Amino acid sequence: MKGYTFLLLSAFILLLSACKTDYANLPTYTGNKQLQAVIETPAGNAHKLIYDLEQQEFIVDQDAGKQREVSFLPYPANFGFIPSTEIDKSGKGLEIIVLSERQESGTQMEVIAIGLMQLENKGELRHIVVAVPARPSERQIQATNYKSFSTEYPGAKAILQIWFSNYNKSAGTRFVGWRDEKFAEKEIQRWMKL
């Protein structure tokens, strides 16, 4: 009987370890129509983490065979992607930065888009949605739209602009401009998988 119980327990543990969440294909919006974000790199990290679509796990990003490390200040907020969006053939989702306390990799959050940053990397336009948690109790910044973000938190905007312009010197990132939450929503709709 002990051998049978051990086999059942072993099979159950193996089955659980084989079940991985497919974060890339979670719904863009939750059942209550709230935008969803998946955190890859927690606030305060100096290593960029990414979600590996094939392995369905979070790994340290590689650059020329070495772990990609930020050679500036660590990430100022939680960085990730919007699930079920795809901006290129590799399956990469639309990027999002969530202004909140540190969240671990794999955290799924209901968020409110309050704007969008436009950057240029080596001649290519890059969009990053800027968001806050949907739950008021989880917000550090009380802005829920671009106007209140701009008027009440100009320092936060400046920090994001400076950080993204400096965190990866080899990418030659250039800040292009800010857009409001309506523009951000159009970008989300544009890149949603059909």
Q: For 55-65, how does the pLDDT look when each residue is reduced to its tens digit (9 = 90+)?
A: 999 999 887 77
Whether residue 56 lies inside any domain: the answer is yes
Query: Nearest to residue 44, comparing CAs of 19, 62, 21, 70?
Result: 70
In this prediction, residue 3 carries a pLDDT of 53
In this prediction, residue 1 carries a pLDDT of 54
Beta bridge partners of 16: none
Whether residue 28 lies inside any domain: the answer is yes
Q: What is the CATH number of the domain that holds 166?
A: 3.90.80.10
3 state DSSP class of 162? helix
Structural domain of residue 102, as residue ranges?
21-191
| Tokens 């100022």 belong to residue | 76
In this prediction, residue 4 carries a pLDDT of 53
In this prediction, residue 172 carries a pLDDT of 82
Domain count, the chain: 1
pTM of the model: 0.88
Residues of the chain short of pLDDT 50, as ranges, are 7, 11-17
Q: Identify residue 16 by its one-letter amino acid code.
A: L
Whether residue 3 lies inside any domain: the answer is no
In sequence order, the 6+-apart residues with CB closer than 8 A to the CB of 171 are 121, 122
In this prediction, residue 122 carries a pLDDT of 84
Whether residue 6 lies inside any domain: the answer is no
Please give the distance of CA 86 from its chain centroid, rounded to a whole number. Answer: 13
